[in-house]
Amino acid sequence: MKITSNGLKIFENGDSKSLPVLFVHGFPFDHNMWHKQIEELSSHYYCISYDIRGLGESSAGDGQYTMESFVDDISLIIYELKLTKPVICGLSMGGYVALRAVEKMEEKFRGLILCDTKPEADTNEGKLKRAEGIKKINEDGLDVFIHDFMKNCFSDQFKTSYKNEYQKIIESSSEFDPVGVKGSLIAMAGRTDTTSYLSRIKIPALILCGEKDILTTPSVMKEMSDKIAVSEFYAVPDSGHIIPIENPEFVNKKISAFLNKIPRPL
Ligand code: MLT
């Protein structure tokens, strides 16, 4: 079922009485990133995905977002769907949202799954890259930006073996509202550093990273995992940054095993 709340498109799959799992996608993608996980997991779990404001089907509005406003949208979803302590699962930008949401209101969550993400804020170099990205969208168009950005997201193996799927993803993201895409870049550039909270996280965490990820490397993610008290880390074989699409079998297996150990709602 698809719900619209305050311009946000939210998608529900599975039985609402089951353990809720809230999926937060990466940039510049939409909820479809989790299609292969939700297809399998919704027979046992209440799977909620949504399009981050400005991306996919969620309205861009004025394009003025912050990481805090993205976290407010998480609160909105929890409230609207009356979710009792979901497990939150975020990839890259979705991981920034999940980490800040847990730092701000850990009591609202039962578990944390982080894929190909990091707790650090953007460096100066990173912020300048965001600015270059915005300039590229303004001067050359969103499609040129998306084409360039995606090159680093997927492994060479995926780009050659799944050429059509890769092209479709590029085409779909090129259809997004440029105002929303630029707004997400600014929100990421302005996010805070959540590193100091890692050692205080009490809920169990699953940390997954594509073994060929060049944006957030396995060593960076292993280091993050080591700082969390109850945490398991796995490198995902044959995968770059977008593990739910590049190796869904491995990712589904690890997520299922993790969710299996989480106590169910009463
Ligand atoms: C993502 O996949 O969400 C992006 O690579 C995150 C970023 O640009 O920092």
- Count helices and strands (H / E) in the chain: 11, 8
> What's the confidence (pLDDT) of residue 203?
97
State in Å: Cα 155 to ligand 1 middle: 15
Query: Ligand 1 pocket test: which of 24, 27, 169 has the largest number of ligand atoms within 8 Å of its C-beta?
Result: 27
> What's the confidence (pLDDT) of residue 218?
97
State in Å: Cα 258 to ligand 1 middle: 24
Do residues 77 and 22 touch, judged by C-beta distance below 8 A? yes
Bin 195: left if φ > 0, else alpha if -120 < ψ < 50, else beta: alpha
235 φ, ψ (degrees, to nearest 5)? -85, 135
Q: Give the chain's residues under pLDDT 50.
A: none
Q: Tell me the three state secondary structure of residue 144.
A: helix
Query: Ligand 1 pocket test: which of 128, 181, 182, 188 has the largest number of ligand atoms within 8 Å of its C-beta?
Result: 188
Nearest-atom number in ligand 1 for the CA of 241 is: 2
Query: Ligand 1 pocket test: which of 92, 120, 188 has the largest number of ligand atoms within 8 Å of its C-beta?
Result: 92
State in Å: Cα 214 to ligand 1 middle: 11
> What's the confidence (pLDDT) of residue 263?
79
> What's the confidence (pLDDT) of residue 266?
59
Instruction: Quote the pTM value.
Output: 0.97
Do residues 199 and 137 touch, judged by C-beta distance below 8 A? no
CA distances from 217 to 18, 29, 49, 185 (A): 34, 20, 25, 21
Bin 99: left if φ > 0, else alpha if -120 < ψ < 50, else beta: alpha
How far is it, in rounded angstroms, from Cα 124 to Cα 138?
Answer: 21
Please list every protein residue whose CB sits less than 6 Å from any atom of ligand 1. Answer: 26-27, 92-93, 188, 215, 241
Strand partners of residue 5: 8
Strands across the sheet with 8-13, in order?
2-5, 8-13, 46-50, 20-24, 87-91, 111-115, 205-210, 231-236
> What's the confidence (pLDDT) of residue 216?
96
* Residue 189: how many other CB atoms lie within 10 Å: 18
**What are the tens digits of pLDDT across the range 210-247?**
999 999 999 999 999 999 999 999 999 999 999 999 99
Nearest-atom number in ligand 1 for the CA of 25 is: 3
State in Å: Cα 92 to ligand 1 middle: 5
**What are the tens digits of pLDDT across the range 140-152?**
999 999 999 999 9
State in Å: Cα 177 to ligand 1 middle: 17
CATH architecture of structural domain 2-260? 3-Layer(aba) Sandwich (3.40)
How far is it, in rounded angstroms, from Cα 228 to Cα 205?
Answer: 7
The helix (run of H) or strand (run of E) holding residue 48 is: strand 46-50
Which residue has tokens 């969103």?
Answer: 142
DSSP state of 115: E
Q: Which residues contact 35 (CB under 8 A, 6 or more apart)?
A: none
> What's the confidence (pLDDT) of residue 265?
61
Nearest-atom number in ligand 1 for the CA of 94 is: 3
Which residue has tokens 């939210």?
Answer: 10
How far is it, in rounded angstroms, from Cα 207 to Cα 213?
Answer: 14
